[in-house]
Amino acid sequence: MQRKCSFTFLLIVCLLSGCFFRAAAQQKTDVQQWHTLTLSFEGPQTHEQAEDNPFLHYRLNVTFQHENKTLTVPGFYAVDGKAAETSAEAGRLWQVRFSPDETGVWTYTASFRKGNNIAVSDDPNAGEGVFFDGAQGSFQVIPSDKKGSDFRGKGRLNYIGQRYWQFAGTREYFLKGGTDSPENFLAYNEFDGTYFGGKAESRSGEAATNQQLHHYQPHARDWQSGDPVWQQHKGKNIIGGINYLASQGVNSLYFLTLNIAGDGKDVWPYTGYDERYRFDCSKLEQWEVVFSHMEQKGIMMHLVTQETENETLLDAGDTGLQRKLYYRELIARFAHHLALVWNMGEENGYADFTPVAQNPDQQKSMISYIKELDPYQHPVVLHTHASPTYRYPILEKLLGFEALDGPSLQISPITDVHQETQYWIEAAEKAGKPWVVNLDEIGPANRGVVPDSDDPAHDTVRHEGLWGNLMAGGGGVEWYFGYKFPHNDLNAEDWRSRENMWKQTKIALDFFQNYLPFWEMQSADPLIDAEGAYCLAKPGEVYAVYLPRAAAVTLNLEAHPGTFSVAWYDPRSGGALQSGTVTAIQGGKKVSLGMPGNQQGQDWAVLIQKK
């Protein structure tokens, strides 16, 4: 692929949304809290393919300090500093991206050192200081002016030792409702250096090959004037896709950053399919354009670092030179984003159909490494196999492991979702390290969530998957598209194909966010007597009941006297709470909740609150 040469002369300008500094001199400027500050430093003139590898033999770390808080942030080789536009391969700029979490004056000190394989060394004194080593500066951080869904108005999404993630700025608890497909979201035809890298062979267990990059043409109409592009016109369709998802209330997107030797064979950060030590700077800058737009639209980055077919591709599964360099580059370039989850591998670990796999020690090593290197301590999860035969032996060895913040559950059959979510929440609590338990894929693999044209109502998915996870105390869901249906997990071009599912997901999240202190509630199914129903409770104060079909149901309030209100909520169309045949009940006994006022054969949610 032809790529333009870099400019030999650079003008470094200061932009408030991503400020560039010539960092050799001390400077002050105002930066908004939670927004990204980019510092640029002039180093040696070099090239992505230089014999003296700039990604491996140079190391930029910048230490930021505010009062008693200190963060050391990895930097990266940025060629000319604007590679998304120029497709440059050469230049002399190194950059660091930082998103401050406190207002007031911050200072920084740069460490730029040269040495053999120094990029993956954790010795601060390794090698020798060169060029701008020791450069210092300061800047003032003021409050963010962002509101609404923009994460820059909410703060960083953190694991806080509970069942739910929380935004550091607003203290709002997060429930996930996202898309799991296409997993090769980044195999977009207008990214530099992106192509099908495998042989024309059929995918294991599936009927078709995937040699066609994404164009997302159906979402061209969703791009809006003022939205980002690169190189004048590129990126409109993928940006339009993000706009569409945000308009439907989708708040997370699952995607691979490395599928070499995997299913798609069309996503990697390197300069080539067979490369492991050099990164494609312009491609990664174009990824950054998309990720920044996701942040502004309120869509979390669920970044999956490998898949089951390639989990031993780097260092034979160990955390050695290749893996450390890969994770460092991801952290340096993208960890500044506020809502980001590191998923350490799709279907990770042994199964008889994927026997070449990482073992528990290798899993713990890579999880620990990324958690230690990430200055922001983003949540870390691990995607599972669909069958409990393989899921249990893997996850049980990770219970209580401090660096892992939860499982990324793949579950088949879907009828297991509720009890599996309950099981892993309880098991993690007992092990002393609570987990956020998300449902990130449902089986069977050939079906998942099918297009609206094949199943417009999505009744089973709504009941067993969506409400099944949430009512068990789970952290939320993402929807996978089965491979036997149009717009599947590898070739999906149009997210409108599942619009009814996005709407129903948002309806469920709205109920939880608007009416429930769900972070204070626990699964309490034994309190109700309806078959297949779920109960979530803050005993004596508020109860939520989900009924797969309207039926007479009794709630056990024997331990909690007093008057409670009863209201009904439609999981299919949402809207306001509705009155049923009973609007108030007296506690201190087992009591009937009555029936909804209409459409009694459908599923319903019931809200019971103490007056």
57-110 pLDDT, tens digit per residue, is: 999 999 999 999 999 999 999 999 999 999 999 999 999 999 999 999 999 999
Domain boundary among 452, 481, 515: 515
Amino acid at 452: D
Residue 388: enclosing H or E segment and its boundaries?
Answer: helix 388-396
Cβ atoms of 287 and 327 closer than 8 Å:
no
Tell me the HSE value of 371 on the side-chain side, using a 13 A CA sphere.
19
Residue 202 has what pLDDT?
33
Q: What's phi and psi for 183, nearest 5 deg?
A: -65, -30
| Residues 302-330, mean pLDDT to the nearest whole number | 98
Q: What's phi and psi for 51, nearest 5 deg?
A: -60, -40
Determine what percent of the chain falls in helix, strand and coil, rounding each to the nearest 5. 25, 25, 50
Per-residue pLDDT for 15 more than 90? no
Domain boundary among 489, 515, 541: 515
| Number of neighbouring beta carbons within 10 Å of residue 611 | 7
Cβ atoms of 142 and 103 closer than 8 Å:
yes
Residue 212 has what pLDDT?
86
Alpha carbons 187 and 213: distance in angstroms, whole number: 6
CA dist list (Å): 346 to 263, 462, 538, 553: 11, 24, 35, 40
Q: Indicate left, alpha or beta for 140 from its phi (over 0: left) and psi (-120 to 50: alpha).
A: beta
Does residue 107 fall inside a structural domain? yes
Output 30 or 145, whichever has higher pLDDT. Answer: 145
Per-residue pLDDT for 43 more than 80? yes
Output 401 or 206, whichever has higher pLDDT. Answer: 401
Q: Are residues 411 and 468 in the same domain?
A: yes
Cβ atoms of 269 and 284 closer than 8 Å:
yes
Residue 11 has what pLDDT?
29
Task: Find the domain containing 98 and state its range.
Answer: 16-145
**Residue partners of 514: CB distance under 8 A and separation at least 6:** none
Pairing, β 58-66 against β 69-74: antiparallel
> How many Å separate Cα 165 from the centre of its chain?
12
The per-residue pLDDT for range 349-398, each reduced to its tens digit, is 999 999 999 999 999 999 999 999 999 999 999 999 999 999 999 999 99
Cβ atoms of 414 and 439 closer than 8 Å:
no
Does residue 3 fall inside a structural domain? no
Does residue 7 fall inside a structural domain? no
Q: Are residues 485 and 536 in the same domain?
A: no
| Residues 33-59, mean pLDDT to the nearest whole number | 98
Q: Are residues 364 and 222 in the same domain?
A: yes
Cβ atoms of 571 and 603 closer than 8 Å:
yes
Q: Are residues 418 and 487 in the same domain?
A: yes
Work out how many domains the chain is built from and give that number.
3
Pairing, β 136-142 against β 30-32: parallel
Lowest-confidence pick of 73-82, 116-125, 414-423, 592-601? 592-601
Domain boundary among 124, 145, 166: 145
| Residues 448-467, mean pLDDT to the nearest whole number | 98
Here the CATH number for the domain that contains residue 86 is 2.60.40.10
Per-residue pLDDT for 28 more than 70? no
Does residue 470 fall inside a structural domain? yes
Q: Are residues 166 and 296 in the same domain?
A: yes
Q: Are residues 173 and 294 in the same domain?
A: yes
Q: Percent of the chain scored above 70 by pLDDT? A: 93
Lowest-confidence pick of 3-7, 249-253, 281-285, 601-605? 3-7
Alpha carbons 585 and 558: distance in angstroms, whole number: 12
* pLDDT class of 6 with cuts at 50, 70, 90: very low
Burial label for 11, CB within 10 Å (0-12, 13-18, 19+), is: exposed
Q: Are residues 501 and 567 in the same domain?
A: no
Tokens of 364: 């713990």
| Number of neighbouring beta carbons within 10 Å of residue 122 | 9
| Residues 480-498, mean pLDDT to the nearest whole number | 97
Alpha carbons 358 and 311: distance in angstroms, whole number: 6
Does residue 299 fall inside a structural domain? yes
Residue 549 has what pLDDT?
94
| Residues 503-524, mean pLDDT to the nearest whole number | 98
| Residues 102-131, mean pLDDT to the nearest whole number | 98
Per-residue pLDDT for 261 more than 50? yes
Q: Are residues 457 and 310 in the same domain?
A: yes
Pairing, β 37-47 against β 30-32: unpaired
Cβ atoms of 250 and 229 closer than 8 Å:
no
Q: Which residue has the tokens 């789970």?
A: 474
| DSSP letter assigned to residue 25 | S
Q: Are residues 117 and 181 in the same domain?
A: no
Is the four-CA dihedral 431, 323, 305, 77 of positive or negative sign? positive
Does residue 85 fall inside a structural domain? yes
Q: Which residue has the tokens 């590129």?
A: 234
Does residue 174 fall inside a structural domain? yes
Per-residue pLDDT for 17 more than 90? no
* pLDDT class of 199 with cuts at 50, 70, 90: low
Here the CATH number for the domain that contains residue 572 is 2.60.40
Q: Are residues 500 and 605 in the same domain?
A: no
Here the CATH number for the domain that contains residue 349 is 3.20.20.80
Does residue 287 fall inside a structural domain? yes
| Number of neighbouring beta carbons within 10 Å of residue 147 | 9
Per-residue pLDDT for 472 more than 90? yes
The per-residue pLDDT for range 518-563, each reduced to its tens digit, is 999 999 999 999 999 999 999 999 999 999 999 889 999 999 999 9
Cβ atoms of 63 and 75 closer than 8 Å:
no
Cβ atoms of 243 and 222 closer than 8 Å:
yes
Per-residue pLDDT for 211 more than 80? no
Q: Are residues 271 and 341 in the same domain?
A: yes
* pLDDT class of 600 with cuts at 50, 70, 90: confident
**Residue partners of 408: CB distance under 8 A and separation at least 6:** 343, 381, 382, 383, 384, 438, 440
Helix then strand count (H, E) for the chain reads: 10, 28
**Residue partners of 123: CB distance under 8 A and separation at least 6:** none
Q: Are residues 330 and 197 in the same domain?
A: yes
Mean pLDDT, the chain, whole residue set: 93
Q: Which residue has the tokens 């669909």?
A: 386
